[in-house]
Amino acid sequence: MTDIFVSYAREDRDTVSTLAAHLEATGWTVWWDRQILAGKEFDTVIETEIGQARCVLVVWSAHSVDSRWVKTEASEGLRRDILVPIIVDGCTPPLAFRNIQSVSFPHAVIEPGSAAFDDLIASITPLVKPRAVREPAVAVATEPSHAAAAVLVHESHAIGQAPVYTAPAESTRGDASRRPWYRRWPVVVGVALAVILFGTVTRREAGARISIGASSTVTRFEVIEAG
């Protein structure tokens, strides 16, 4: 399926060739009748291609305003509400199309980056987005140890440009779980108190055993003396 069908008079072939190249560079597929193969019926191919196109771009010029084929193709685009007209030499469009806003290219000069070309892109985009920006952005979620971070991949509008990504920085300031155990003051104080308590209990138990041993010795000595 073609994105843009270009309707024009053959006398404007060079201008249309330049126009088609610029539109294709933007990311659209463009059809114009130079692609008709030998042995194919002209009107059948035209009818098929214009019926599949998402946008009909008519090039009004001093030659095309008198072309029955161009006016017929423009009428089909108007019927389907997908018509985008441009004027390349300051001519006046046919009566049936004069109430439709056209993009004017003075002296048939079509240059990307110009105000007229930007207006043309803006007129076509609501009908069919360029392939370079047709895909949505991709979001990839990761899970660090203590905070969720998201990496956003943005597809560039420029063809061939590498995607750009950003990631929120993860702060570890104030995160006690990342500190060595010996730098956590509650742990240090607890360990010190446990050591002191253990030493105190140990000394008391040792003193008690010495007192009991001494008492047993004295009692035994007295029993022997009495005997």
132 contacts: CB under 8 Å, gap ≥ 6: 26, 27, 155, 156, 157, 158, 159
Amino acid identity, position 187:
V
pLDDT at residue 172 above 90?
A: no
pLDDT, position 8? 95
Worst-scoring range by mean pLDDT, 15-19, 95-99, 156-160?
156-160
pLDDT (0 to 100) of residue 196: 76
Q: For residues 63 and 61, give the distance between their C-alpha atoms in angstroms, rounded to a whole number.
A: 5
Q: How far is CA 169 from CA 22, 146, 164, in A?
A: 41, 12, 16
* Maximal C-alpha separation, the chain: 152
DSSP the chain: --SEEEE--GGGHHHHHHHHHHHHHHT--EE-GGGPPTTS-HHHHHHHHHHH-SEEEEEE-TTGGG-HHHHHHHHHHHHTT-EEEEESSSPPPPGGGTTS--EE-GGG---TTSHHHHHHHHHHTTTS--GGG-SPPEEEEE--SSS-EEEEEE--SSTTPPPEEE-PPPP-TT-GGGS-GGG-HHHHHHHHHHHHHHHHHHHHHHHHHHHHHHHHHHHHHHHHHH-
Provide the pLDDT for residue 219.
44
**pLDDT, tens digit, 9 for 90 and up, residues 80-92:** 999 999 999 999 9
pTM of model > 0.85: no
Is pLDDT of 64 > 70? Answer: yes
pLDDT of residue 201 exceeding 90: no
- Each residue's pLDDT tens digit, 114-153: 999 999 999 999 999 877 544 444 444 444 444 444 333 3
Q: Report the pLDDT averaged over residues 187-201.
A: 67
d(CA 12, CA 113): 22
Mean pLDDT for the stretch of residues 183-192: 62
Arithmetic mean of pLDDT over the chain: 75
pLDDT for 148: 41
